[in-house]
C-alpha cells in the first residue's frame, strides 16, 4: 500500500475543495487551482471530517504509482491556495541584474542582450530594489504563486538563462544553493 496515498488531506479553514467528474478544484485565499485526475483513482471529499481521501481501483503497478502522486498533487494544491509557494533566486556577477517590466522579467547575465521572459499567469515576481543592497551584494528576486509546478518551472527557466559557472560562481542560482567551485589554472612560477 502507498503510505503517502493512504494519508487523508486535511482541509484548512477558508479553503473549499470540490470534486466534479474527474477533476478536483481548490479555492482559497491565495487563488484557485484545478486538476484532472486519472480514472484509476477515486477522490472523495468528506465534509464532516474536513479532509480529502484518495483511493485506487486495484493493486496494479500503474494504480499504485498514481495513488501517491495524485494525493501529493492535491495536497500541494491545498497548501498553495492556503499559504502559496515561493522561490528566492540570486544573480551573481559584475554588471548582472534583473528588472521587472510589467509582466516581463529582464535578466542581464553577460550576454550581448538581456534575456526577456514572459511571467506566466498566476506567478508573481518581486525584485529587491538596488538601493536596498550594496554593490557587493547579488541581485535578489522572489518568484511566488499558488501553483507549485508553475513557480518551480518559471524559476528553473530563469536559472537556465545563465546557470552558475564553477570557477567564479557567476550566474543565476537559488538562494542558499551551494556551487561546487573549481580551482583555475595554476601558472608555473619563474618564467623568463
pLDDT per position as a tens digit, 85-125 = 999 999 998 888 899 999 999 999 888 999 999 999 999 99
The pLDDT score that the predictor gives to residue 128 is 86
Residue 8 sits in which domain range? 3-82
* Chain-centre distance for alpha carbon 115: 20
Do 167 and 91 lie in one domain? The reply is yes
Residues 26, 55, single domain; the answer is: yes
Higher-confidence residue: 74 or 47?
A: 74
pLDDT given for residue 137 in this prediction: 81
What's the grid cell of residue 50?
Answer: 474536513
Task: Find, among 108, 106, 148, 100, the residue nearest to 125 by Cα.
Answer: 100
Q: What's the rounded mean pLDDT across residues 169-187?
A: 89
**Per-residue pLDDT averaged across 13-41, rounded?**
94
- What Å distances lie between residue 139 and 65, 72, 94, 118, CA to CA? 41, 33, 10, 19
Task: Tell me, yes or no, whether 183 lies in a domain.
Answer: no
Whether the pLDDT of residue 3 is over 70: the answer is yes
pLDDT recorded at residue 130: 59
- Asked whether the beta carbons of 102 and 51 are under 8 A apart, the reply is no
All three cell numbers of 3, joined, read 503510505
Residue 48: which pLDDT band, with cuts at 50, 70 and 90?
confident
> In this predicted structure, what is the pLDDT of residue 5?
87
Residues 63 and 103 in one domain: no
- Tell me the pLDDT tens digit for each residue of 129-162: 755 555 568 889 999 999 999 999 999 999 999 9
Q: What is the CATH number of the domain that holds 60?
A: 3.90.930.12
Boundary (domain end) residue, out of 38, 66, 82: 82
From CA 18, how far away is CA 100, in angstroms rounded?
Answer: 36
Asked if 57 and 19 sit in the same domain, the reply is: yes
Inter-axis angle of helices 148-160 and 61-82, nearest 10: 90
98 or 188, greater pLDDT:
98
pLDDT at residue 164 greater than cutoff 60: yes
91, 166: one domain: yes
Compute the mean pLDDT over every residue in the chain, rounded to the nearest whole number: 90
**Do 93 and 147 lie in a common domain?**
yes
Amino acid at each position: 500500500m502507498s503510505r503517502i496515498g493512504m494519508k487523508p488531506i486535511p482541509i484548512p479553514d477558508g479553503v473549499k475543495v470540490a470534486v466534479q467528474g474527474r477533476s478536483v478544484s481548490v479555492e482559497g485565499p491565495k487563488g484557485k487551482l484545478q486538476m484532472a485526475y486519472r480514472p484509476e483513482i477515486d477522490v472523495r471529499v468528506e465534509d464532516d471530517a474536513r479532509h480529502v481521501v484518495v483511493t485506487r481501483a486495484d493493486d496494479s503497478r500503474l494504480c499504485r504509482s498514481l495513488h501517491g502522486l495524485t494525493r501529493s498533487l492535491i495536497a500541494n494544491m491545498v497548501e498553495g491556495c492556503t499559504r502559496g509557494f515561493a522561490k528566492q533566486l540570486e544573480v551573481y556577477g559584475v554588471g548582472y541584474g534583473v528588472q521587472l517590466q510589467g509582466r516581463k522579467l529582464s535578466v542581464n547575465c553577460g550576454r550581448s542582450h538581456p534575456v526577456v521572459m514572459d511571467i506566466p499567469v498566476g506567478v508573481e515576481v518581486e525584485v529587491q530594489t538596488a538601493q536596498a543592497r550594496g554593490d557587493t551584494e547579488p541581485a535578489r528576486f522572489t518568484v511566488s504563486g499558488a501553483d507549485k509546478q508553475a513557480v518551480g518551472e518559471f524559476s528553473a527557466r530563469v536559472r537556465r538563462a545563465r546557470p552558475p559557472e564553477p570557477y567564479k560562481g557567476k550566474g543565476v542560482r537559488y538562494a542558499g544553493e551551494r556551487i561546487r567551485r573549481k580551482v583555475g589554472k595554476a601558472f608555473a612560477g619563474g618564467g623568463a
